Chain A
Amino acid sequence: MSDFSLTRRSVLSGAALLLASTALPTIGRAQEPQKGGRLTVAADSEPRNLNPAIVASNGVFFISSKIVEPLAEADYEGKDGLSPRLAVSWEGSEDGKSVTFKLREGVTWHDGKPFTSADVAFSALQIWKPLQNLGRVVFKDLEAIETPDEHTAVFKFAKPTPFQLIRNALPALTSVVPKHVYENGKIEENPANTAPIGTGPFKFAEHKAGQYYRLEKNAAYWGKSEPNLDEIVYQVLPDRSAAANALEAEEIQLAAFSAVPLADLDRISKVPGLKVVTKGYEGLTYQLVVEINHRRKELADVKVRQAIAHAIDRDFVVKTIFLGYAETATGPVPKNDKQFYTPDVPAYAFDVAKANALLDEAGYKPGADGKRFKLKLLPAPYFNETKQFGDYLRQALAAIGIDAELVNNDSAAHMKAVYTDHAFDLAVGPPVFRGDPAISTTILAQSGIPDGVPFSNQGGYKNADIDAIIAKAAETLDAKARTDLYKEFQKKVVEDLPFINVADWTFISVASDKVGNIADNPRWAVSNWSDTWLAQ
Chain B
Amino acid sequence: MRRLASAPEALVGLGILAALTVMALAASMLFPGDPLAIKGAPLLPPFQDWSLPLGTDRLGRDVLAELFHGARASLAVGLAAAAAAIAVGAVVGTLAGFAGGIVDEALMRITDAFQTVPSFLLALAFVSVVGPSLTVVVIAIALSAWTGPARVARAEVLSIRERDFVAGARVIGMHPLEIALREVLPNALPPVLALSSVIVASAILIEAALSFLGLGDPNRVTWGGMIAEGRTVLRSAPFLSIVPGIALVLTVLGVYLAGEGVVEGTAVRKGLS
Binding site for B on A (CB under 8 A): 240-241, 244, 261, 263-264, 266-267, 320-321, 381, 384, 388, 390-392, 394-395, 398, 405-410
Interface residues in B118-164 by Cβ distance below 8 A to A read: 128, 131-132
- Kindly supply a per-residue 1/0 record for chain B positions 74-102, scoring 1 wherever the CB is within 8 Å of any chain A CB and 0 otherwise: 00000000000000000000000000000
With contacts A267-B236, A408-B132, A408-B214 known, is A320 near B34, CB below 8 A?
Answer: no
Is the beta-carbon distance between B59 and A264 smaller than 8 angstroms? no
Collect the chain A residues with CB atoms within 8 Å of residue B233's CB.
261, 263-264
Given contacts A264-B233, A408-B214, 15 further A-B contacts (CB under 8 A): A241-B232, A241-B235, A261-B233, A263-B233, A263-B236, A264-B235, A320-B59, A381-B214, A384-B232, A391-B36, A391-B218, A395-B37, A405-B219, A407-B131, A408-B215
Is the beta-carbon distance between B60 and A261 smaller than 8 angstroms? no
- Interface: B42 (CB within 8 A): yes
Q: CA A396 – CA B128 in complex, angstroms?
A: 28
Q: Which 10 pairs of residues, A with B, have the shortest CB-CB distance?
A: A406-B218, A263-B233, A408-B218, A320-B42, A261-B232, A267-B236, A406-B219, A395-B38, A263-B232, A395-B37
Q: What is the predominant secondary structure among interface residues of chain A facing chain B?
A: helix
Our count of residue pairs bridging A and B at CB distance below 8 angstroms stands at: 55
Interface residues in B230-261 by Cβ distance below 8 A to A read: 231-237
Interface residues in B33-66 by Cβ distance below 8 A to A read: 34, 36-38, 42, 58-60
What are 28 A-B contacts defined by CB distance under 8 Å?
Answer: A241-B232, A241-B234, A241-B235, A261-B233, A263-B232, A263-B236, A263-B237, A264-B233, A264-B235, A264-B236, A320-B42, A320-B60, A381-B214, A391-B218, A392-B38, A392-B59, A394-B36, A395-B34, A395-B36, A395-B38, A395-B59, A398-B37, A405-B219, A406-B218, A406-B219, A407-B131, A407-B218, A408-B215
Collect the chain A residues with CB atoms within 8 Å of residue B235's CB.
241, 244, 264, 267
Q: CA A240 – CA B231 in complex, angstroms?
A: 11
Binding site for A on B (CB under 8 A): 34, 36-38, 42, 58-60, 128, 131-132, 214-215, 218-219, 231-237
Collect the chain A residues with CB atoms within 8 Å of residue B42's CB.
320
Minimum distance in angstroms from A45 CB to a CB of chain B: 18
Closest Cβ neighbor of A405 among chain B residues? B219
Q: CA A263 – CA B59 in complex, angstroms?
A: 12
Collect the chain B residues with CB atoms within 8 Å of residue A391's CB.
36, 59, 218
- Of B37, B59, B237, most buried by chain A (CB within 10 Å of CB) is B59
With contacts A241-B234, A410-B128 known, is A263 near B58, CB below 8 A?
Answer: yes
Closest Cβ neighbor of A396 among chain B residues? B38
Closest Cβ neighbor of A398 among chain B residues? B34
Minimum distance in angstroms from B69 CB to a CB of chain A: 15
Is the beta-carbon distance between B219 and A388 smaller than 8 angstroms? no
Q: CA A394 – CA B38 in complex, angstroms?
A: 11
Collect the chain B residues with CB atoms within 8 Å of residue A398's CB.
34, 37
Is the beta-carbon distance between A388 and B214 smaller than 8 angstroms? no
Q: CA A320 – CA B57 in complex, angstroms?
A: 11
Q: CA A244 – CA B131 in complex, angstroms?
A: 33
Is the beta-carbon distance between A320 and B58 smaller than 8 angstroms? yes
Collect the chain A residues with CB atoms within 8 Å of residue B232's CB.
240-241, 261, 263, 384
Collect the chain A residues with CB atoms within 8 Å of residue B214's CB.
381, 408
Collect the chain B residues with CB atoms within 8 Å of residue A407's CB.
131, 218
With contacts A263-B233, A263-B236 known, is A388 near B218, CB below 8 A?
Answer: no
Closest Cβ neighbor of A244 among chain B residues? B235
Closest Cβ neighbor of B43 among chain A residues? A263
Q: CA A264 – CA B233 in complex, angstroms?
A: 7
Collect the chain A residues with CB atoms within 8 Å of residue B231's CB.
241
Minimum distance in angstroms from A417 CB to a CB of chain B: 10
Minimum distance in angstroms from A446 CB to a CB of chain B: 31
Minimum distance in angstroms from A439 CB to a CB of chain B: 32
Collect the chain A residues with CB atoms within 8 Å of residue B128's CB.
410
Closest Cβ neighbor of B231 among chain A residues? A241
Collect the chain A residues with CB atoms within 8 Å of residue B37's CB.
395, 398
Q: CA A394 – CA B131 in complex, angstroms?
A: 19
Q: CA A398 – CA B34 in complex, angstroms?
A: 9
Collect the chain B residues with CB atoms within 8 Å of residue A405's CB.
219
Collect the chain B residues with CB atoms within 8 Å of residue A244's CB.
235
Collect the chain A residues with CB atoms within 8 Å of residue B234's CB.
241
Closest Cβ neighbor of B214 among chain A residues? A408
Minimum distance in angstroms from A409 CB to a CB of chain B: 8
Collect the chain A residues with CB atoms within 8 Å of residue B59's CB.
320-321, 388, 391-392, 395
Collect the chain A residues with CB atoms within 8 Å of residue B38's CB.
392, 395
Closest Cβ neighbor of A264 among chain B residues? B235
Q: CA A392 – CA B231 in complex, angstroms?
A: 18
Q: CA A381 – CA B213 in complex, angstroms?
A: 12
Minimum distance in angstroms from A177 CB to a CB of chain B: 38
Q: CA A266 – CA B215 in complex, angstroms?
A: 30
Collect the chain B residues with CB atoms within 8 Å of residue A261's CB.
232-233
Q: CA A381 – CA B34 in complex, angstroms?
A: 23
Collect the chain B residues with CB atoms within 8 Å of residue A392's CB.
38, 59
Q: CA A410 – CA B131 in complex, angstroms?
A: 10
